[in-house]
């Protein structure tokens, strides 16, 4: 946080424009939750008081970004706004081929349709849901090999976002001809938002080179990851964030990026590559699916805001405040007796829902129940990463994943310490009244990415008996 004095730290921003938070009563929220079928994605944003659903596209832009927006040049081909974005991305990544896209998943789609063939295997420390889905959509098979397990994620180890190097080596020894790429997600969003160490990135790169398999980065939160490398790995203590980022990218063949995170923008992304031949192929898909290569899916003004945001996200004072705010919420929750993934990562606190609602079994979706309780009691919106998100098996059966997390994702430069204290207070209330909240069952679901549109109903005491029968029958 700000300014190195011996006084207490403060958020290093002054407020210039405010957005009023509409407050609601518990009674109103009860109705809203019921009408939303207990799914946070169906709730209107106006009905949410503290929105921790995602850090994606929810950042507050700076005065510099708003000014840059006016500079946006909207030519179809060759806009100077594109060249400003290209220069910034090249400076940070060292990759010469820069293709703007409307957001991260579009960059994934364009890369994967060129590098994934039917039956290929793609490996990651943690595929984000849309990233994995794009591999599958192109006929590939995804393999997640994080270094953490559901037992070790709650230890205090520092780089729990790492890939499991020995599993990677094993997979490449036996399958390297089928592996189309390895993608390192920094930080590891589905793995507690935990960082990946430079040592792990270096080892991964060495193994990939040995087997001639390209290494890419899912770079959404690369600046936050670089900050952790600077703080935790001795040899990087005196390096700047951009030096660390450049070294990290030097180990890879390219990256997909959602500028909605560490680009501090409300929309946008890019694909950046080293290989000009592959880039030529990708540009054909870019034109077809997003737009001409000098705007991709973006307007000139959006490219300007990203170019500025990317540089602002490298500022150490900003990163100290940002990661300090996440850590602060984490400490308040620990004080309230709630188990979290600790030390906290860059963008969110991951709460063990079973430490708040221990009576709800995995297939009663304790994470979803906790999200519902947080909304009901405090108007807070959060995101489940547990058996609802990950429990559906390819054969259609349901499996308890055994790690029932709720992600409290903090938008960048939006909320203050008092909002964090409020969030912790609501958690404490829910924990102290846990018996008031029941598990849920699915009443309707889609075939893919079900968590976005699923409908759930509460298990009433009558239903609860049936549910425990279901659970017994299913052997859980």
Nearest distance, CB of residue 186 and ligand F0G, angstroms: 8
- Site residues (CB under 6 A) for ligand F0G, limited to 300-319: none
> 242, 204 in Cβ contact below 8 A?
no
> 194, 341 in Cβ contact below 8 A?
yes
**What count of Cα atoms within 13 Å lies in the side-chain half-sphere of residue 127?**
24
Read out DSSP for 228-296? HHHHH-GGGTTS-HHHHHHHHHHTSSEEEEETTSTT--SS-EEEEES-HHHHHHHHHHHHHHT--TTTT
Which residue has the closest beta carbon to ligand F0G?
104
Task: Please choose, out of 103-111, 112-120, 137-145, 310-318, the segment that lies near ligand F0G by the rule CB under 6 A.
Answer: 103-111
Pairing verdict, β 383-385 and 405-409: antiparallel
Distance, in Å, from the CA atom of 225 to the CA atom of 236, rounded to the nearest integer, reads 12
Residue 406 or 459: the one with the smaller Cβ distance to ligand F0G is 406
The answer to whether residue 93 forms part of the interface with ligand F0G (CB under 6 A) is no
Structure-token match 């060129």, residue found: 114
One of 95, 128, 251, 321 touching ligand F0G (CB under 6 A) = 128
One of 39, 54, 226, 305 touching ligand F0G (CB under 6 A) = 54
Nearest distance, CB of residue 95 and ligand F0G, angstroms: 17
**What count of Cα atoms within 13 Å lies in the side-chain half-sphere of residue 253?**
21
Distance, in Å, from the CA atom of 114 to the CA atom of 92, rounded to the nearest integer, reads 24
Nearest distance, CB of residue 252 and ligand F0G, angstroms: 15
One of 62, 79, 88, 185 touching ligand F0G (CB under 6 A) = 185
One of 47, 51, 86, 218 touching ligand F0G (CB under 6 A) = 218
The answer to whether residue 381 forms part of the interface with ligand F0G (CB under 6 A) is no
3-state secondary structure of 399: coil
- Site residues (CB under 6 A) for ligand F0G, limited to 257-296: 258, 260, 269
Using the Cα atoms of residue 312, residue 316, residue 318 and residue 319 in order, give the sign of their dihedral: positive
Residue 330 or 439: the one with the smaller Cβ distance to ligand F0G is 330
Nearest distance, CB of residue 341 and ligand F0G, angstroms: 15
One of 39, 48, 97, 105 touching ligand F0G (CB under 6 A) = 105
- Angstrom distances, CA of residue 137 to CA of 92, 116, 146, 291, 344: 30, 10, 22, 21, 33
The residues binding ligand F0G (CB under 6 A) are 54, 56, 103-105, 128, 130-131, 185, 189, 218, 220, 258, 260, 269
């Amino acid at each position: 946080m700000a300014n190195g004095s011996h006084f207490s730290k403060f958020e290093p921003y002054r407020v210039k424009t405010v957005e009023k938070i509409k407050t609601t009563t518990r009674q109103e929220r009860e109705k809203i939750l019921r009408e939303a079928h207990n799914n946070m994605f169906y709730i209107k944003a106006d009905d949410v008081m503290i929105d921790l659903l995602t850090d994606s596209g929810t950042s507050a832009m700076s005065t510099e970004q708003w000014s840059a927006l006016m500079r946006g040049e909207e030519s179809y081909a060759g806009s100077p706004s594109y060249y400003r974005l290209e220069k910034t991305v090249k400076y940070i990544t060292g990759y010469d081929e820069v293709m703007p896209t409307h957001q991260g998943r579009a960059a994934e789609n364009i890369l994967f349709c060129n590098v994934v063939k039917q039956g290929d295997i793609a490996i990651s420390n943690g595929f984000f849901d849309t990233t994995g889905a794009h591999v599958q959509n192109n006929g590939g098979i995804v393999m997640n090999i994080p270094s953490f397990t559901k037992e070790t994620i709650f230890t205090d180890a520092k780089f729990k976002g790492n890939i499991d190097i020995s599993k990677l080596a094993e997979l490449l020894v036996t399958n390297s001809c089928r592996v189309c790429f390895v993608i390192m997600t920094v930080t590891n969003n589905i793995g507690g938002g935990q960082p990946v160490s430079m040592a792990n990135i270096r080892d991964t790169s060495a193994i990939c080179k040995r087997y001639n398999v390209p290494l890419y980065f899912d770079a959404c939160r690369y600046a936050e990851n670089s900050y952790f490398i600077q703080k935790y790995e001795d040899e990087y203590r005196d390096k700047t964030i951009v030096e660390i980022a450049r070294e990290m990218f030097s180990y890879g063949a390219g990256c997909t990026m959602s500028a909605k995170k560490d680009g501090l923008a409300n929309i946008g992304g890019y694909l950046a590559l080293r290989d000009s031949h592959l880039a030529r192929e990708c540009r054909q898909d870019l034109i077809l699916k997003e737009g001409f290569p000098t705007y991709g899916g973006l307007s000139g003004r959006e490219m300007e805001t990203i170019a500025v945001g990317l540089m602002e996200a490298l500022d150490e004072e900003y990163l100290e405040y940002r990661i300090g705010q996440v850590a602060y919420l984490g400490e308040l929750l620990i004080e309230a007796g709630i188990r979290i993934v600790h030390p906290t990562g860059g963008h969110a606190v991951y709460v063990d829902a079973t430490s708040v609602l221990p009576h709800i079994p995995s297939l009663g979706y304790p994470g979803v129940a906790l999200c519902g309780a947080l909304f009901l009691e405090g108007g807070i919106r959060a995101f489940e990463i547990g058996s609802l998100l990950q429990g559906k098996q390819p054969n259609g059966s349901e499996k308890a994943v055994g790690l029932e997390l709720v992600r409290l994702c903090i938008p960048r430069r939006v909320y203050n310490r008092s909002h964090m204290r409020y969030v912790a207070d609501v958690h404490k209330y829910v924990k102290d009244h846990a018996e008031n909240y029941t598990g849920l069952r699915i009443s309707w679901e889609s075939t893919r990415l079900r968590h976005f549109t699923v409908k759930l109903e509460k298990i009433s005491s009558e239903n609860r008996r049936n549910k425990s029968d279901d659970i017994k029958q299913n052997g859980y």
